[in-house]
Chain A
């Protein structure tokens, strides 16, 4: 048993999967915390679903798939941010329409493109073990970029999340920072598609922070602990996928959910004072 795990963990494709999954989990901690604090999980879903349309369009136009996903995600993020600034439109309804129509349209386009045989399931639920050289480089570069931007603007991001108006009076450019944050989320979703797939990406972003909530007293603690929980979920998810012979993406999400449930029913820190 131990031997087979050791052998499994040192296989090339498993090492690639681990490197990709862990680096994504590390940035998903802080980024996902912002999604939770700002109630943007539906927004993340919409972006993820629209990414499938990006894949479809990339395939029929014969473009680089990773690049077409990134461009379509960034484009959608930009459009959603613009629409969000018009308060007369209900954001909730709008996101619902965009999320599912782009998912449906993506599947229709993929089905019509007879020339290309696509493994739809890999895009919907992830295919972490098929990650190659190029995929890994994309993920590492984007993770490093996202981490650097988050680190650079950290105090400003927290400030606009806590109270946008005070932040603005204090001289923070709230609109610009909102846009940067949304683009970071879009970028992360775009490259993490291979890991857990369109349908499960948001869960990888929001479950670890939700699990870390009761362990934290500051935003920094919550995002750090969310990263740790994310890494644990990736490693345990990968191991159990191997052990029980189940798909990797869903098994990572299941592990994260179990950790969340554990902390939810047995909170470690009592934050409410009497």
Chain B
């Protein structure tokens, strides 16, 4: 069993160049169908990498391979053996026969560090849900609880499979903002899956557009005008992007006030 230390001050076991996890030439077939073809990917400390692509493009498969939950047919995943990963799965089904409060669910990840627990509950604004049944909270609340569980491992790398699913539009923007703040403050790398480029645009460093192979990748501004991206998502996507980039000269924090723009 891997033993995690929850010491806040521990230095991440990243390589000299700060790379937390890298995937080289990953290939994966399912029943003769090519799901992933020659995928390369690196995530470094403090970097946010977003995977976008249509349904069935292999995003979740790639994430599961990166996590070690699934074996690639060929290719390699490199990461430090003691890398602490916080994982937020796409779907969580709680058996109706299993009574489980939010706080008990979170304690499964970390029972010792009470300070971290209350700070995390507070940061994600879920303190009031502590004693609620996990099966009875809303979709948006559930996503926050899942993110909290991932954070309780004090992760160096966060892997999030559609973190904003089931969250309303305003909540989605807020959630992505929160993820980018967490990454900035804690210096952890983030690999996440998203459907909407325009929503993650302000909070991602690198976008990988995936449709079985990597169609295009780079800074979000670059990907949004890439012919391969437009071909995959249609002109509509770029229009909504244009509207968004119009407002992109400032950022809001979670309380709504305007933040100093970061230097790119």
User: Knowing A169-B87, A217-B133 touch, does A161 contact B98 (C-beta < 8 A)?
Assistant: yes
B101: Cβ under 8 A from any A Cβ = yes
List B residues 87-110 near A (Cβ within 8 Å). Answer: 87, 89, 92, 94-95, 97-101, 104-105, 107-109
Bound complex: CA of A165 vs CA of B92, how far in Å?
10
Shortest distance in angstroms between B13's beta carbon and chain A's nearest beta carbon? 15
Bound complex: CA of A159 vs CA of B149, how far in Å?
12
Q: Is the beta-carbon distance between B100 and A218 smaller than 8 angstroms?
A: yes
Q: Is the beta-carbon distance between B97 and A210 smaller than 8 angstroms?
A: yes
Report B171-208 CB contacts with A as 1/0, cut-off 8 Å. 00000000000000000000000000000000000000
Shortest distance in angstroms between B106's beta carbon and chain A's nearest beta carbon? 11
A residues less than 8 Å from B1 (CB atoms): 171-173
Bound complex: CA of A258 vs CA of B198, how far in Å?
58
Report B1-44 CB contacts with A as 1/0, cut-off 8 Å. 11110000000000000000000000000000000000000000
Q: Is the beta-carbon distance between A162 and B99 smaller than 8 angstroms?
A: no
Set B67, B101, B109: member contacting A218, Cβ < 8 A: B101
B170: Cβ under 8 A from any A Cβ = no
B residues less than 8 Å from A36 (CB atoms): 97
A residues less than 8 Å from B107 (CB atoms): 155
Shortest distance in angstroms between A189's beta carbon and chain B's nearest beta carbon? 20
Residue in chain B with minimal CB distance to A213: B97
Report B70-97 CB contacts with A as 1/0, cut-off 8 Å. 0000000000000001110100101101
Set A166, A271, A272: member contacting B89, Cβ < 8 A: A166
Q: Is the beta-carbon distance between A168 and B99 smaller than 8 angstroms?
A: no
A residues less than 8 Å from B133 (CB atoms): 217, 271-273
Q: Is the beta-carbon distance between A169 and B99 smaller than 8 angstroms?
A: no
List B residues 152-170 near A (Cβ within 8 Å). Answer: 153, 159
Set B98, B100, B109: member contacting A170, Cβ < 8 A: B109
Q: Is the beta-carbon distance between B149 and A166 smaller than 8 angstroms?
A: yes
- Contacts across chains A and B counted by CB atoms under 8 Å: 74
A163: Cβ under 8 A from any B Cβ = yes
Bound complex: CA of A216 vs CA of B109, how far in Å?
21
Q: Is the beta-carbon distance between A162 and B98 smaller than 8 angstroms?
A: yes
B residues less than 8 Å from A172 (CB atoms): 1
B219: Cβ under 8 A from any A Cβ = no
Q: Which range contains the number of B residues in contact with the other chain?
A: 20 to 34
A residues less than 8 Å from B109 (CB atoms): 166, 170
Shortest distance in angstroms between B198's beta carbon and chain A's nearest beta carbon? 29
B residues less than 8 Å from A39 (CB atoms): 95
Q: Is the beta-carbon distance between A219 and B99 smaller than 8 angstroms?
A: yes
Interface size of A by Cβ–Cβ distance < 8 Å?
32
Bound complex: CA of A155 vs CA of B107, how far in Å?
9
Which interface residue of B4, B99, B109, B111 has the most chain A CB atoms within 10 A? B99
A residues less than 8 Å from B122 (CB atoms): none
Bound complex: CA of A271 vs CA of B137, how far in Å?
12
Shortest distance in angstroms between B229's beta carbon and chain A's nearest beta carbon? 30
Residue in chain A with minimal CB distance to B104: A218
B residues less than 8 Å from A171 (CB atoms): 1-4
B residues less than 8 Å from A272 (CB atoms): 133, 136
B258: Cβ under 8 A from any A Cβ = no
Set B92, B99, B149: member contacting A271, Cβ < 8 A: B99
Q: Is the beta-carbon distance between B99 and A165 smaller than 8 angstroms?
A: no
B243: Cβ under 8 A from any A Cβ = no
Residue in chain B with minimal CB distance to A158: B108
B residues less than 8 Å from A170 (CB atoms): 4, 87, 109, 153
Which interface residue of A167, A169, A273 has the most chain B CB atoms within 10 A? A169
List A residues 228-267 near B (Cβ within 8 Å). Answer: none
Residue in chain A with minimal CB distance to B111: A155
Shortest distance in angstroms between B235's beta carbon and chain A's nearest beta carbon? 38
Bound complex: CA of A36 vs CA of B96, how far in Å?
10
Bound complex: CA of A273 vs CA of B138, how far in Å?
11
Bound complex: CA of A180 vs CA of B228, how far in Å?
50
Shortest distance in angstroms between B143's beta carbon and chain A's nearest beta carbon? 14
Set A166, A213, A273: member contacting B99, Cβ < 8 A: A213
Shortest distance in angstroms between B135's beta carbon and chain A's nearest beta carbon? 8
A123: Cβ under 8 A from any B Cβ = no
Residue in chain B with minimal CB distance to A163: B92
Q: A155-B108, A162-B105, A163-B92 are in contact. List 5 more A-B contacts (CB 8 A).
A: A165-B67, A167-B108, A210-B97, A216-B99, A272-B136
3 pairs of A and B residues whose beta carbons are closest in the complex: A171-B2, A169-B87, A159-B108
